[in-house]
Amino acid sequence: MSATALESALTKLATKLAEPITDANTAEIRALADKVVKDARANKETDLLSAQDLARGLELRGDFFRLIGDFEEAQKDYFEALSLLMCARDVDEAIGRVSTGLAVIHDGAGNDGQAKSYYERAIAAFERMCPPAALDIADLSNNLAFIYEASGNFDKAETLLLSSLNTCHQVLGAEHEQTALLYNNVGTLYFKAGHDERAREMHMLALGVRTSIFGGIHPETSQSHGNLALVFVRSQELNAAKNHFDKALDGLEMDLENYKEDYDTIVANFRDVLESAEDRKGLRQLNARFGGSLI
């Protein structure tokens, strides 16, 4: 296959992977991915400069396997792609993308050590770019922060999250949903670490942005209400907590099909708070919300 035709095929494959993969198009995309890799591998035998095309084909086929849940095959393609990229110059963006794919696979499997290693490798690659890929770094740092948070290293998690928040604030602006997500994640970290005032501040900022973007009745806004409810519970401001619980439920009831688990969690937390406060009226009202079926 000519270099031009291969480049066109790579672009076509990337375009298809940017769209939802369904039962109807899985076989077509797999066939295209296999052909791209086969042709790129053949080209490499006669043109060493085409190694980057093979790396790109392997990366895209790895993405395909990852998206359909075939993580073993995805890792094989990613590993081979990385081995090719290690011998090339000016490929930091590609190294960052492939390392990200491997990090996501290990993160999903709970392999924290491996996930952390690949997240850090991806971040380093994106930082070497000129200019650095700021938003990619922010996104990966957010994911890496969760690993440090889970291990109890709150200081490292805070450093990563605040760096991500600062980047999103500067690049995307204060009124952006990604900025709100980072406010939320920093607030959750502070709450877990026992810094309630700072947690409240972050969750209030997240709530303000989400209300501005999505409105008062929306699952994203509900998440902030639910988090604020827990902050107010711990500070013994029960009326404020109940108000936020109510608003959280209002928003999630708009899309119970996708947010049933979150909804049940908030109901359980709300009920526990009411029972602890011996708020019989509040319990009756909560029970009435479910037609008297809440146990």
What tens digit of pLDDT does each residue of 219-264 get? 999 999 999 999 999 999 999 999 999 999 999 998 999 999 999 9
Residue 2 burial (CB < 10 Å; 0-12/13-18/19+)? exposed
In what helix (H) or strand (E) does residue 151 lie, and over which residues does it extend? none
pLDDT of residue 94: 97
pLDDT of residue 294: 54
The two tokens of residue 58 are: 């392997």
34 pLDDT higher than 90:
yes
199 alpha-carbon distance from chain centroid: 21
Write the CB contacts of 273 (distance below 8 Å, at least 6 apart in sequence). 229, 233, 238, 241, 242, 245, 279
pLDDT of residue 269: 93
Work out the mean pLDDT of the chain and round it to a whole number.
93
pTM comes to 0.89
At 47, the pLDDT band (50, 70, 90 cuts) reads low
273 pLDDT higher than 70:
yes
pLDDT of residue 102: 98
pLDDT of residue 5: 84
d(CA 279, CA 272): 10
Least confident of 6-10, 33-37, 99-103: 6-10
Least confident of 31-40, 154-163, 170-179, 273-282: 273-282
78 pLDDT higher than 60:
yes
* Torsion-angle region of 90 (φ positive above 0: left; ψ -120 to 50: alpha; else: beta): left
pLDDT of residue 252: 93
> What mean pLDDT comes out for the span 286-295?
68
49 pLDDT higher than 70:
no
Contact 54, 44 (CB under 8 A): yes
> What mean pLDDT comes out for the span 74-87?
95
- Span 100-153, pLDDT tens digits: 999 999 999 999 999 999 999 999 999 999 999 999 999 999 999 999 999 999
The two tokens of residue 240 are: 């404020």
131 upstream amide cis, omega within 30 of 0: yes
Contact 203, 224 (CB under 8 A): yes
pLDDT of residue 180: 98
> What mean pLDDT comes out for the span 92-96?
97
pLDDT of residue 247: 95
1 pLDDT higher than 80:
no
